[in-house]
């Protein structure tokens, strides 16, 4: 309700970060209801009451994580330049999204778990910011198609396919590695595969 008091000491800042990192670890593995403050406190190396000194409730910790997340998650799509060369821009987006999945798998799983459970704590953000950005970029894609610079496909489902294919490697990491077996670099292989896939999908035919 009240504006957040920002002046925090170094130790406060540091502890908040430690807690959020621990919470990300635990929430991403067990979901909101499955996660416990005991676990989070243990991973953070703090006592449970001390954790609750920094955040008023379990819900509050979760909310801070989610709030910061969506923005980062949409950055790669935002960076798709309407003035650039279409195929190059789309492949660039795929590459950035895949890198994000590789470098921030816990964030990806936190997000996935939230959506999987019906997005009870993200509904507005999804129906607001997310939808607006997709609608905007879909318009760019349609223009490129109208100009005959890429194949005509459903632009929103094209974006869905990029999300699905990149996040799969973070969210289903266990399955991917179990099936591939040892001696593989899933993300490197995915990068090559996805470049081929989207190039063939979008390059104009003969």
Partner DNA sequence: GTCTATACTCTGATAGAC
Partner DNA sequence: GTCTATCAGAGTATAGAC
Q: How far is the CB of 28 from a copy of itself (least distance, A)?
A: 8
CB nearer to DNA: pick between 6 and 205? 6
Count of residues for the chain? Answer: 206
Written as six digits, the tokens of 41 are 């406190």
Angstrom distance (rounded) from CA 200 to CA 21: 40
Residue 117 binding a copy of itself, by CB under 8 A: yes
CB nearer to DNA: pick between 60 and 204? 60
Q: In this structure, are residues 50 and 35 in contact, taking their beta carbons and an 8 Å threshold?
A: no
Residue 72 binding a copy of itself, by CB under 8 A: no
How many chain residues touch DNA (CB under 7 A)? 20
Residue 9 binding DNA, by CB under 7 A: yes
Residue 60 binding a copy of itself, by CB under 8 A: no
47 vs 19, 40, 43, CA distance in Å? 11, 9, 10
Determine the 3-state secondary structure of 203 from DSSP: coil
**Binding segment (CB under 8 A) for a copy of itself, from list 9-17, 46-54, 111-119, 139-147:** 111-119
Gyration radius from the chain CA atoms? 20
Residue 52 binding a copy of itself, by CB under 8 A: no
Residue 135 binding DNA, by CB under 7 A: no
Angstrom distance (rounded) from CA 41 to CA 23: 8
Q: Can you tell me which of 12, 175, 185, 188 binds a copy of itself, judged by CB under 8 A?
A: 175
Q: How far is the CB of 36 from DNA (least distance, A)?
A: 4
- CB proximity list for 26: less than 8 A, separation 6 or greater: 35, 36, 39, 40, 43
Q: How far is the CB of 190 from a copy of itself (least distance, A)?
A: 6
Residue 127 binding a copy of itself, by CB under 8 A: yes
DSSP secondary structure of 129-180: IIHHHHHHHHHHHHHHHHTTSS----HHHHHHHHHHHHHHHHHTHHHHHHHH
Backbone angles phi, psi at 18, to 5 degrees: -60, -45
Chain residues in the site for DNA (CB under 7 A): 8-9, 11-12, 15, 35-38, 46-50, 52-53, 56-59
Chain residues in the site for a copy of itself (CB under 8 A): 29-34, 109, 112-113, 115-119, 123, 126-127, 130-131, 134, 151, 153-154, 156-158, 160-161, 163-165, 167-169, 171-172, 174-176, 178-181, 189-190, 192-193, 196-197, 200-201, 205-206
């Amino acid at each position: 309700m009240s504006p957040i008091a920002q002046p925090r000491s170094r130790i406060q800042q540091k502890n908040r970060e430690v807690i959020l990192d621990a919470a990300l670890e635990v929430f991403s593995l067990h979901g909101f209801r499955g996660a416990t403050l005991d676990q989070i406190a243990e991973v953070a190396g703090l006592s449970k009451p001390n954790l609750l000194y920094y955040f008023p409730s379990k819900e509050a910790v979760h909310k801070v994580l989610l709030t910061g997340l969506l923005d980062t998650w949409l950055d790669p799509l935002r960076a798709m330049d309407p003035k650039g060369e279409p195929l190059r821009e789309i492949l660039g987006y795929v590459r950035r999204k895949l890198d994000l999945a590789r470098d921030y798998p816990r964030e990806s799983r936190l997000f996935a778990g939230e959506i999987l459970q019906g997005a009870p704590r993200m509904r507005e953000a999804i129906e607001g910011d997310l939808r607006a950005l997709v609608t905007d970029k879909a318009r760019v894609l349609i223009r490129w198609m109208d100009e005959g610079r890429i194949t005509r496909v459903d632009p929103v489902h094209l974006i869905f396919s990029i999300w699905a294919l990149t996040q799969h490697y973070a969210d289903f990491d266990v399955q991917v590695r179990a099936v591939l077996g040892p001696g593989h670099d899933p993300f490197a292989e995915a990068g090559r595969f996805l470049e081929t896939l989207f190039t063939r999908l979008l390059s104009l035919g003969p």
